[in-house]
Structure 1
Amino acid sequence: MTEFLEYNITLNLPNQLPERQLIANTINPHSYCVAKEDEVFNQALLTSDILVPDGVGVVWATKLLYNRKIAKISGFDLHLHFLELLQKNGGGRVFYLGSSPTTLFLIRARIEREYPKVKVGIWSPPFKEEFTVEDNQEMISKVNSFQPDVLFVGMTAPKQEKWVHYNKAGLDSKVICSIGAVFDFYAGTVKRPNEFWIKLGLEWLPRFLKEPRRLWRRNLISTPKFVLEMIRIKNNLF
């Protein structure tokens, strides 16, 4: 599993759209732990073209194990990067797949204000544990009929990464990013912690205090497990 940290972490984001399809994902201590138990999710992360360190735990682990100093790059940063890239280069097309219609309408309205050269397509898939073949065909059809330069998928991890992993060959988009909670942050339906907490590397704390029932496993189980595993790996490697 250390290949995530040693080989796959991306430190520089592209400054132009790729010629071939590019898959971008994020990794944090919780997704690391989930991937250990979920082989499809594991493969989805390992085969990413871009895998950004979306968590101070990953930054710390990379320094601990390989003495590499890297910066945290959040899913929110990844999202803004591609919007700004399209705006700067004369415009483009983005598609948001996931979340509720209300959230998607708010996202589109904000992009129309902030990135007027960027055209937006949206689709809210059904909220269910697993999609049917018909669901998948409809989702792929909605994306491909819009022909986006960038497809943002927001269905929560690991569902979103696995969906992209299974369906990427049929998706007509130059870039595909799984960014989960960013949909709600950007729409304003969920408030992102302010810059004070982000700079301290404690963005997780206000979110946990606000939604302990949803985030307790991530912060109270996955994070300690991740820290202990990194220390064990450190002792085994050196």
Structure 2
Amino acid sequence: MDNKVDILGVNIDKLGIKDASEKIYSFLEDGGHHCVFTPNSEIIMAAHRDENFKKILNSADILTADGIGVVYASKILKNPITERAAGFDTAMELLKKMNDGKKSLYLFGSKPGVADRAAEKIKKMHPNIVISGCADGYFNAEKEKKIIDDINEKSPDVLFVCLGFPKQEKWIYEHKGKLNVKVMMGLGGSLDVIAGEAKRAPEIFQKLNMEWFYRLCKEPWRIGRMMDLPKFAVTVILKGKRAK
């Protein structure tokens, strides 16, 4: 467990952006089916309340520290993670490696049309990546079967699943091993950012580790969800277990 930190029962990998992307890329060479989740404080709190969801998170091959709150928690537990590895940043670094290796990618999630626009942006940035297919995140059982069949037919190296938590993690957990995909990543709103539908916080907010504040100012309806941040800090202090 020296390379992980136990934060409220969720085993976060002590990997920065570069190391995480390199390890994910190595999965493309060793075969098998792998999944990557990127929990922040809110997701870890959800897992703390729900043992089944905690089990799903811990089934991942890699769990990166998406939020600065997770990094701070690791320091409280005296098993520090040196760098926040947000899902978006890790995915962007992975795409560079995939471009060099001419790997294939399938985009699944967000509103109709967003995945297609994200695919266009990715092709402009990384022309050697093969976009195997796209599907939006609005589906019933019949459409889901068609999406699964399409993914299996295309057999991409990497599948970005952007359905929001906990839906994306549960979907990946359910289908891992059933899809002809080497790596599945749960990436929340990343397709919206790539497509230009949403913007990340300005760089100054990122450097100050205050993306959460920028998001709250832009989307004040998130205040209820943001209340999990102080709850997370208090819970880690009172109930956190140091990784063994």
Query: TM-score, normalised on structure 2?
Result: 0.87
Corresponding position: 1:225 with 2:231: yes
Deviations 1:38-81 (A, max 9, x none): 33321221111010000111000101102424210101112112
User: How is 1:123-142 mapped onto 2 (pairs within 5 angstroms)?
Assistant: 123-126=135-138, 131-132=140-141, 134-142=142-150
TM-superposed deviation, 1:35:
1.4
The alignment yields a C-alpha RMSD, in angstroms, of 2.0
TM-superposed deviation, 1:83:
0.9
Total equivalences in the alignment = 228
Corresponding position: 1:23 with 2:29: no
Contact 1:140–1:170 (8 Å) recurs in 2: no
Deviations 1:21-51 (A, max 9, x none): 2110011110011112333321221111010
1:231–1:98 Cα change, 3 Å: same
Counterpart in the other structure of 2:12: 8
| Aligned-partner SS, 1:96 | strand
Gaps of 5+ in 2: 1-6
Q: Name which structure has the greater RCO, CA cutoff 8 Å, separation 6+.
A: 2
Q: 1:191 aligns with which of 185, 193, 199?
A: 199
Counterpart in the other structure of 1:34: 46
Counterpart in the other structure of 2:55: 43
Gaps of 5+ in 1: none
1:10–1:25 Cα change, 3 Å: farther
1:109–1:235 Cα change, 3 Å: closer
1:138–1:40 Cα change, 3 Å: farther
| Aligned-partner SS, 2:188 | coil
Deviations 1:136-171 (A, max 9, x none): 322211211111100000011000000111111211
Q: 1:93 aligns with which of 97, 101, 104?
A: 104
Deviations 1:62-110 (A, max 9, x none): 0110242421010111211221111122x11100111123211211111
Amino acid at match of 1:229: T
Contact 2:77–2:241 (8 Å) recurs in 1: no
Counterpart in the other structure of 1:107: 118
Contact 1:40–1:162 (8 Å) recurs in 2: no
